[in-house]
Structure 1
Amino acid sequence: MNRYYLKHEFLITARSRRTIPFVFFITILLFSYCFIIWPYADTKEAFNKKETEEYLTYLKEQQNLWESIGNTGLVFNRRSIDVYFQIGNPVYAKNDYNYNLFLAMSQSFEDRNFERMLQLRVFYLQNNPSEYLEDRFLFPKAPSPRKDREHAYYQTMMKYEDYLKKDHPVTFGLMYEKTGLQTLQNLLQNYGIYFLLFCVIYFSSDILSRDRKHQAILQGLPLSWYRQLNLKSLSAFLYSMAFIGSVIVVGVLLMTIQFGFGYFDLNVPIMIKQETFAPEDYSVISIAAYLGKTLVVLPLLVILFVRLNVVLSLLFKNEWIVLFLSSLLLFSERLYFTRSTRELFGKDISLFPQTYFDFGKIINGEKNFLLNTETITYAKGIIVLFITYLVIEVILYFVSLIINKRRFYLTS
């Protein structure tokens, strides 16, 4: 009986008129992301051929100007305070150096020689950290833009140096993080888990309210009310995990077709402490470890929201109210989150489960960096989420005793 009821609930979810259009929409969104959004995403490291050509033209014009006036040596700038200071600046030589370097990068990009291009880019960034630190368009609205720019600079340099140390061929996809594994890592690191959990909430928001059309049949089932709730939860959990697994596999496959699969031993920069905000505060883990630590927590988050939806369904008996309230909880951190929020109701932010919903930011230390704290850890996140799940289980047990099967159907 348990197996047949579980199969029955699973098929109802899969064939629901709510589920099929939603899955179709997610499929379109997934293909759009993999073929349009992410491949052409404009990032700091994206190579802009037009801008590079304009910069080369500008440098060439400057060089012609210096040559025409016969001034290809040092240029002395004068500043008057009480006395004159003369500082020699080799403008012509610097322009010539930058012209040759950027011309080499442009030619490497056209020749698809990304290993040479990466070497040139690393060489340029090593000698010109101001490319990040003084970029006023990078994190313009951040409370501490320079801190964020330094963070981005260190992460970029660590990833690039790792690419050069490995024996893997440097391709366009590898250099610009568009391979299957790198895309998945970036998605989980940038609110991808919110997207997956919202899908879980949607699928499980009507697992009780949809039974109102079959009250007579369901009330006669030889299963206890609490067991029915458990089987419904299990079916929603299994369907959600199958859906998440399908989205991940298809997404990685689509990016692999375009840019390659990637490599499990590539390093992901992580922040291990916040003392000097220098390279000494950083370490690395492999993509395999990052994905493993993130995805292993995902089933806990899925069952947490499935059981929460069962509780809300018993209390409100309306799938749209359940969807709204669960989504509100999922995105609740966005309502109060600021870069200075380290306490909520007088308690450390690390004690609240919503801090760990975007778990991808916990593993690499990004959440600690954003909040300038060190209290948010991987182990604490698992403990907090597990305790939250147990609290929901206890609440569900007592609510199911108060709102039993007869009372639920009589008031629905």
Structure 2
Amino acid sequence: MNWHYLKHEFLITARSRRTIPFVFFVAILLFSYCFIIWPYANTKEAFNKKETVEHLQYLDEQKELRESIGNTGLVFNMQRVKTFLQAGNPVYANLSHEHDLYTAMLQSFEDRNFERMLQLRTFYLQNNPNEYVEDRFLFQTAPFPSKDREHAYQQTMMKYEDYLSKDYPVTFGLMYEKTGLQSLQNFLQNYGMYIVLFCVIYFSSDILSRDRKHSSVLQGLPLSWYRQLNLKSLSAFLYSVLFILGFIVIGMLVMTIQFGFGHFDLNVPIMIGQQTMTPDSYSVISIAAYLGKTLVVLPLLIILFVRLNIVLGLLFKNEWVVLFISSLLLFSERLYYTRSTRDLFGKDIGLFPQTYFDFGKIIDGEKNFLLNTETIHYAKGIIILLITYLIIEVILLIVSLIMNKRRFYLAK
């Protein structure tokens, strides 16, 4: 009986008029992301051929100007002319060096020689950190732009040095983080968990309210009310897990066809300290460890929201109210979130479960970095989510006793 009821609930969810259009909509978003958004994402490291050509023309003009006036030697700072030790700046030589470097990068890009291009770009950034640190257009709307720029520079250098130290070939997909594994990692780091959990909320928001249309049939089922709720939760959990697995597999397959699968031993920079912005504040984990630690928490988050929707379904008996309240709880952190928010109601922000819904930012220390704190940790997040789940289970047990089967189906 349990198996037949579980199968029945699973098929109802899969064939629901609410589910099929939503799955179709998510599929459109997925393919848009994989074919349009992420492959052509305009990041700091994206190579712009047009801008490179224009920069080379500018360098040519500057060189020609200095050649025409005979100013190709050292340029002295007029404020230091009277000092005993005079330091000159070889402007023309620097222009020639930069011109040669950009020309080589342009030629490497046109030849699709990304290993040489990566070597040239890494060499350039090692000697020119101001490319990030003094880029006023980078993070210009952030509350701490200088800190964010230094953070981005350190992460970029760690990634590039890791790529160069590996034995496998450097491809376009690898260098610009477009491979299947890198795309999944970036998706989980950039609000992917919110998208996944919203799908879970949507699929499980009506698993109780839809039965009220057939109350005369379902009240006679030879199953206890609490077991019935558990089987409904299990069916929603299984459907959500299968949907998410399919979502991930299809997305990675599409990105793999375009840019390759990637490598499990690639390093992901993680921040281990907040006191300085030096390399000592960073460490690395493999992309396999990052994905494993993130995805292993996903079932806990799924069952947490499924059980929460059961509680809300018993209380409100309307799928749209359940959807709204659960979504509000999922995105509740965005209501009070600022880069300086470290306390909520006088308690540390790391004690609240909504801090850990976006779990992709926990493992790499990004959440600590954004909130300027060191109190948010992987193990602590799992413990808090487990405690939250247990609290929801206790509430569900109490609510199911108060709102029993008869009262639920007869309530108007």
Using structure 1 for the length normalisation, give the TM-score: 0.98
Counterpart residue identity of residue 277, structure 2: F
Counterpart residue identity of residue 291, structure 2: L
Distance 2:97 2:321 in 1: 63
Counterpart residue identity of residue 337, structure 2: F
Distance 1:340 1:82 in 2: 47
Q: Is the 8 A contact 1:311 1:399 kept in 2?
A: yes
Q: What does 1:143-222 correspond to in 2, within 5 Å?
A: 143-222=143-222
Distance 2:292 2:366 in 1: 17
| Alignment correspondent of 2:344 | 344
Verify: 1:68 aligned to 2:65, yes or no: no
Verify: 1:301 aligned to 2:293, yes or no: no
Q: Is the 8 A contact 1:79 1:85 kept in 2?
A: no
Verify: 1:405 aligned to 2:405, yes or no: yes
Q: What does 1:317-328 correspond to in 2, within 5 Å?
A: 317-328=317-328
Shift in Å, 1:149: 0.7
Shift in Å, 1:143: 2.0
Shift in Å, 1:81: 12
Distance 2:336 2:208 in 1: 32
Shift in Å, 1:79: 3.9
Distance 2:124 2:82 in 1: 38
CA displacement, residues 283-311 of structure 1 (integer Å, 9 cap, x when unaligned): 00000000000000000000000000000
| Alignment correspondent of 1:253 | 253
| Alignment correspondent of 2:229 | 229
Q: Is the 8 A contact 2:80 2:86 kept in 1?
A: no
Distance 1:326 1:261 in 2: 35
Q: Which runs of 5+ in 1 are unaligned?
A: none
Counterpart residue identity of residue 173, structure 2: G
Counterpart residue identity of residue 249, structure 1: V
Shift in Å, 1:80: 9.2
Distance 1:138 1:85 in 2: 37
- Secondary structure of 2:78's partner? strand
| Alignment correspondent of 1:375 | 375
Q: Is the 8 A contact 1:118 1:160 kept in 2?
A: yes
- Secondary structure of 2:120's partner? helix
Counterpart residue identity of residue 71, structure 1: N
| Alignment correspondent of 1:29 | 29
| Alignment correspondent of 2:266 | 266
| Alignment correspondent of 1:91 | 91
Counterpart residue identity of residue 169, structure 2: P
Counterpart residue identity of residue 51, structure 1: E
Distance 2:306 2:182 in 1: 29
Distance 1:267 1:278 in 2: 18
CA displacement, residues 23-80 of structure 1 (integer Å, 9 cap, x when unaligned): 0000010000000000000000000000000000000011111111111111234249
Aligned residues: 412
Q: What does 1:4-43 correspond to in 2, within 5 Å?
A: 4-43=4-43
Shift in Å, 1:145: 1.2
Identity %: 80
Shift in Å, 1:85: 10
- Secondary structure of 1:149's partner? helix
CA RMSD, aligned part only?
1.4
CA displacement, residues 197-253 of structure 1 (integer Å, 9 cap, x when unaligned): 000000000000001221111011000111110000000000000000000000000
Q: Is the 8 A contact 1:63 1:96 kept in 2?
A: yes
Shift in Å, 1:82: 11
CA displacement, residues 96-137 of structure 1 (integer Å, 9 cap, x when unaligned): 000000000000000000000000000000000000000001
Distance 1:288 1:85 in 2: 54
Distance 1:279 1:45 in 2: 20
Q: What does 1:379-398 correspond to in 2, within 5 Å?
A: 379-398=379-398
Verify: 1:101 aligned to 2:101, yes or no: yes
Counterpart residue identity of residue 231, structure 1: L
Distance 2:88 2:380 in 1: 56
- Secondary structure of 1:268's partner? strand
Verify: 1:129 aligned to 2:129, yes or no: yes
Counterpart residue identity of residue 66, structure 1: R
Verify: 1:282 aligned to 2:278, yes or no: no
1:21–1:75: structure 2 CA closer, same or farther, 3 Å change rule? same
- Secondary structure of 1:3's partner? helix
| Alignment correspondent of 2:240 | 240
Distance 2:47 2:408 in 1: 60
**Structure 1 stretches (4+) deviating beyond 3 angstroms?**
79-87
| Alignment correspondent of 1:54 | 54
Q: Is the 8 A contact 1:78 1:84 kept in 2?
A: no
1:194–1:85: structure 2 CA closer, same or farther, 3 Å change rule? same
Distance 1:30 1:275 in 2: 39
Shift in Å, 1:322: 0.3
Using structure 2 for the length normalisation, give the TM-score: 0.98
1:118–1:294: structure 2 CA closer, same or farther, 3 Å change rule? same
Q: Which runs of 5+ in 2 are unaligned?
A: none
Counterpart residue identity of residue 267, structure 1: N
Distance 1:55 1:80 in 2: 31
Counterpart residue identity of residue 330, structure 1: L
- Secondary structure of 1:72's partner? coil
- Secondary structure of 1:285's partner? strand
